[in-house]
Amino acid sequence: MKRVFLAGLITLGIAAAALAQEKYGTVYFYRDRDTADYPPQINVLNPEAVLYLDGEAFLSLGERAFIGIRMPIGLHRLSMTLKGKSTNQLLGVNWGRTYYVRITQVMYPNPFQTISQDNQQTALDLIRKCDALKEKKIKIKSLEIIRLNPTKRKP
């Protein structure tokens, strides 16, 4: 009887772990080079883009950087502020799905920011040229971080 009970608990634990894994989706945030054709002094003027997740400071993303995050399923509000103007985007995350969110911040000649979702091929072409975001640039430490470039082949 004890063995049956123990086996049932183990099975229940495995099922719960499987369900917990399904409650996340993967989101890659990336930023290409926004000031490619401008003189060097303009590059200095283009700081890291600070992204907020559900109203909380989330990450600081410099040019040519990416980071993958396993995010809980549901609707999340992404936002940024530049010179008093806010940019907002809702992101619906479904379990087991992968999303690619492009961050753009242009300072010259007219400052603006955008948050947009790209299709996989477009995103991977841009992420291929990016470096993984340093961990110290991520403000919310409770989320699982993926630093491996998604364009790299897995062994």
Domains of the chain: 24-146 (2.60.40)
Q: Which residue has the higher pLDDT, 154 or 82?
A: 82
How many angstroms separate the CA atoms of 92 and 80, rounded? Answer: 18
Residue 1 has pLDDT above 70, yes or no: no
Q: How high is the pLDDT of residue 23?
A: 93
Alpha carbons within 13 A on the beta-carbon side of 129: 9
Among the listed ranges 28-32, 38-42, 84-88, 105-109, which one has the minimum average pLDDT value?
Answer: 38-42
Residue corresponding to tokens 């897995």: 154
DSSP β-ladder status, 131-132 and 65-72: parallel
Higher pLDDT, 15 or 98: 98
pLDDT in tens, 103-121: 999 888 888 999 999 999 9
Instruction: Kindly indicate the confidence band of residue 67, based on its pLDDT and cuts at 50, 70 and 90.
Output: very high
Output the pTM of the full model.
Answer: 0.81
